Chains A and B, each alone.
Chain A
């Protein structure tokens, strides 16, 4: 079964606007971590933000925030004040407590329009 689901293959957003990227996950673990990465066309994977399953507050890192809804098993990424440089592929990933590896979603391509 798919552990991470990203249902939006691609999105367009206007510069300076906010965009929300959806991510739902499936796990029976009580302890797990959720990650978001950005992959520009250069291919590198850039770590953006982390949310632990026991974290009571939503994670934030600059213009990135994570809307964590544990009961719904969703961990949506919000990018505020989009910039042209935000155009990239974004991956949601999860690591469960009994595993060492990351399970990745299919990714969402974000294109920021001027």
Chain B
């Protein structure tokens, strides 16, 4: 199975600031995704990180607020820009590893609290 590392695991941020979350995978993967989980809620897909091109954003999410980079097949970053308390969530990186069957793995998550 893929090993996915996310940094930071937790952070407390001041409103109005931005934070970048990193996702590193131990093997090359085709598809990488970023999800948000607000407190007490289920997961919502923010965007698909595409290698070599702009990310594909889901309805309700925009690049200016959640810029994403994917410089290669093992790494991606998600930035949460101009944060407000409503951005307090767990942000999860996910990869699709069809090589070992139909399995979609998640990183450990990044807990962000905006104060």
A residues whose Cβ falls under 8 Å from a Cβ of B: 33, 35, 37, 42-47, 50, 52, 91, 95, 100-102, 104-107
Contact = CB atoms under 8 A, between A and B. Distances in A.
Contacts of A50: 101-103
Interface residues of B, number: 24
A43 B103 contact: no
Interface of B: 1, 31, 33, 37, 42-45, 48, 58, 90, 92, 94, 96, 101-109, 111
Nearest to A44: B108
Contacts of B102: 33, 50, 52
B106 A44 contact: yes
B31 A43 contact: no
Contact of A42 (B58, B96, B108): B108
A47 B104 contact: yes
Main secondary structure of the interface of B (DSSP, over half): strand
Nearest to A6: B42
Contact of B42 (A42, A46, A105): A105
A35 B104 contact: yes
A91 to B, nearest CB: 7
A43 B45 contact: no
Nearest to B45: A101
Given A37-B106, A45-B94, A102-B45, 6 more contacts: A42-B109, A43-B37, A44-B108, A91-B43, A101-B45, A107-B42
